[in-house]
Structure 1
């Protein structure tokens, strides 16, 4: 309670109100990013460790996370409480020396925050003991499965104490792998859902701007960073080499640009995030390594330079802003090859991105041509009478052909044949067949 008061927290969030009364049993929790999920499982876990001391045991609580950044964030949140009592917390992530981590483990911290791969490395070296585990938390289990850690997670389960409490937190409870884990790892678990990722982010305004190519995206990005109002901004790209290129390009136009990707050492990544949190850098160019676990106050603007490859990753990206009831702006730069992906993301979150155009930087690409309700492509000219179509049918024009159609069907107009009007999955541009 003293730690909560020190942080200025006096009212539980929606997910905390739902989880705390049920925390005595296994739970499967789905809630939006920035909703307070971390404290929802930390508070009941730490409370039991305090009220039921067990000084001669190994690690009593394990929190598994997918990324180093999320591990550091959870460790920081947990340490804010353990600093106020006798409990100890440790963190295991890649990018750090084994010998230092082994020394930390010998101090036998009650709580351990770890990334999956590094924890498995320590299990194989027999430097960590999970036989006394009372709590197992899988934070963002869907992401760990997507990263290919299913076998590692099974190994961790085999080394863990059977009688324990398990909390599974996931952005997508319908994820097939998550359901498999829930069925084998959890016992009589309650499902708690406060808001799925498909629900609209009420505090985030989502826009899309069409672009012709990366050169055009570069110009759009420079304009946005110069003209939008924000305290801090994050720019997401899909490739690590593109992070470095884009960061170098932006430094020619603006100060305070930092880069973050998976090829950097852990010390470099920690330094970059610290610089952003302190406000010494206010523009971060990053891969999806920053999409989860990055909670930076004042992150008002998110720009998807490259569109996320999956709907849930898009949701986690834009979730870096609009956190804890604050308003944010998320802008996606859409090239021609990303249009269908944009449509997929819109269907995933059941929300349409607001179209926007910047004066003087309007793209030549304006999206695929839409289809009229009759099924014909807008603007398509009719062929002269007597000429054959590419499909071997003669087409006529005028009243004569219209009367033939009416005589064969009670409907005023015959539907076009599927062969002549093949559409893509979103009902847009026709796919032309060769003769």
Structure 2
């Protein structure tokens, strides 16, 4: 029960109102040290309840200090506007019985309206690094009083090129502060550099290894001959699989638009989400998916990052993601909270090596699946046996029936030059060729 945590009574009331029963593993591990004021570096998969793991301790700290109203005291950084909007809703839900206020700063919204909101100095500011830097440079963003800094989905934030912006915003939080950093994967050198720069003596919590994905999610691959074949497979899966909501991932905006067009032509209720879409269209797509107005979302990684859609139980990789971490982020959206999910990756000849490298990275082997109605000619790389010559063996001679021929017998009688002594080199090791005498 959440009562085991020493949280403010108003926060516990909000938790009870939400009918949260048992805390998740990441909440059990992260909330107590966060309440103690420790810096944390937490690896936890998407959908594990990590937002509550940092929001509840953050709000508890702001409620505990009896001080007059001052500037913004908490900053939460996230990679995308969609994830920032979802986090704002969760902060407001947990803070519903308190006096704490939160504000949102992302791209795609009126800059002046955002500046006016910040002049009211909300207790918690939630935003994306790019737009926050713009306000920092314009003199609208004052972070000296920040007591808690949170970097959520930090690995993806750095993948999107926000490493420098994140460190700059952290440096602007110049007062004494607690920093909480969450990511779904261990990340690379860039993440380690940021951790060293923004965290002080952090407690490292690893709630899942990268290969420990949602247990309820089946992972399959289906081989395909080409993109047209892939499109046929997508339509078959959407027509024959049982699902409430589905996401189809592509690596490019052009592929997303093309696939979306084919779906609309076939009467499939779908929306497309990528970087070229404006904020209004993005909001509409997500709301329609959540409310059931559309069952399928076609999206690129950047646009769909951080989406938290209840009832999402089918993920199709039209294009194989370019890294193991990206694969984890994609399929981590299905099979949440103990539910079942299905992740299917479509593999052409050019995708096989990438797929194999992701299997090695995850230390898993994906289930191979064949759809009889759409079985293609490509079934994976052919196993090439080493030839006899390549292996260093001579090919045996066979007769017409295929049986190995016996070696030819040598004719009886003395060997040629058998009576002549063999010549050897001076060291007695290598035989020398006999030279013919002149006139022989």
Same fold flag (TM > 0.5): yes
Deviation at 1:277, TM superposition (A): 0.5
Contact 2:317 2:344 in 1 (8 A): yes
Matched, 1:14 2:25: yes
How far apart, in 1, do the equivalents of 2:171 and 2:273 lie? 35
Corresponding residue to 1:100 among 113, 117, 126: 113
Moved more, 205-214 or 192-201: 192-201
Moved more, 156-165 or 215-224: 156-165
Deviation at 1:370, TM superposition (A): 2.5
Aligned to 2:340: 327
Contact 1:200 1:351 in 2 (8 A): no
Alignment of structure 1 residues 34-183 onto 2, 5 Å: 34-173=47-186, 175-183=188-196
Deviation at 1:325, TM superposition (A): 1.0
How far apart, in 2, do the equivalents of 1:347 and 1:201 lie? 18
Deviation at 1:290, TM superposition (A): 4.7
Matched, 1:189 2:202: yes
How far apart, in 1, do the equivalents of 2:405 and 2:347 lie? 42
Deviation at 1:146, TM superposition (A): 1.4
The runs of 5 or more residues in structure 2 that have no matched partner are 1-11, 399-403, 408-440
Any idea what SS the aligned residue of 1:43 has?
helix
Deviations, residues 323-366 of structure 1 (Å, cap 9, x unaligned): 11111000000011000000011111111110000012111111
Contact 1:134 1:161 in 2 (8 A): no
Aligned to 1:306: 319
Contact 1:232 1:301 in 2 (8 A): yes
Aligned to 1:397: 396
Contact 1:291 1:313 in 2 (8 A): no
Deviations, residues 269-318 of structure 1 (Å, cap 9, x unaligned): 01110111000011110001354321111111000011111111111101
Any idea what SS the aligned residue of 2:219 has?
strand
Contact 1:199 1:350 in 2 (8 A): no
Q: 1:402 to 1:187 in 2, by over 3 A?
A: farther
Matched, 1:357 2:370: yes
Deviation at 1:394, TM superposition (A): 9.7
Corresponding residue to 2:305 among 289, 292, 309: 292
How far apart, in 2, do the equivalents of 1:145 and 1:401 lie? 67
Deviation at 1:401, TM superposition (A): 12
The runs of 5 or more residues in structure 1 that have no matched partner are 384-388, 404-435
User: TM-score by structure 2 length?
Assistant: 0.84
Aligned to 2:16: 5
Deviations, residues 166-209 of structure 1 (Å, cap 9, x unaligned): 00112233521221122221111110111122224311000000
Contact 2:102 2:122 in 1 (8 A): yes
Corresponding residue to 1:264 among 258, 269, 277: 277
Q: 1:101 to 1:394 in 2, by over 3 A?
A: same
How far apart, in 1, do the equivalents of 2:338 and 2:181 lie? 24
RMSD of the TM alignment (CA)? 2.1
Deviations, residues 124-180 of structure 1 (Å, cap 9, x unaligned): 001010000000001111111111112212221221124100001122335212211
Any idea what SS the aligned residue of 1:113 has?
strand
Contact 2:244 2:313 in 1 (8 A): yes
Corresponding residue to 2:331 among 310, 315, 318: 318
Deviations, residues 398-428 of structure 1 (Å, cap 9, x unaligned): 499999xxxxxxxxxxxxxxxxxxxxxxxxx
Any idea what SS the aligned residue of 2:374 has?
coil
Contact 2:75 2:146 in 1 (8 A): yes
Q: 1:252 to 1:51 in 2, by over 3 A?
A: same
How far apart, in 1, do the equivalents of 2:166 and 2:175 lie? 15
User: TM-score by structure 1 length?
Assistant: 0.85
How far apart, in 2, do the equivalents of 1:241 and 1:69 lie? 21
Contact 1:291 1:320 in 2 (8 A): no
Any idea what SS the aligned residue of 1:131 has?
coil
How far apart, in 2, do the equivalents of 1:223 and 1:154 lie? 46
Any idea what SS the aligned residue of 1:360 has?
helix
Contact 1:30 1:171 in 2 (8 A): yes
Corresponding residue to 2:248 among 235, 243, 248: 235
Q: 1:109 to 1:81 in 2, by over 3 A?
A: same
Q: Tell me the number of residue pairs that the alignment of Structure 1 and Structure 2 aligns.
A: 389
Aligned to 1:410: none
How far apart, in 2, do the equivalents of 1:176 and 1:199 lie? 22
Any idea what SS the aligned residue of 2:373 has?
coil
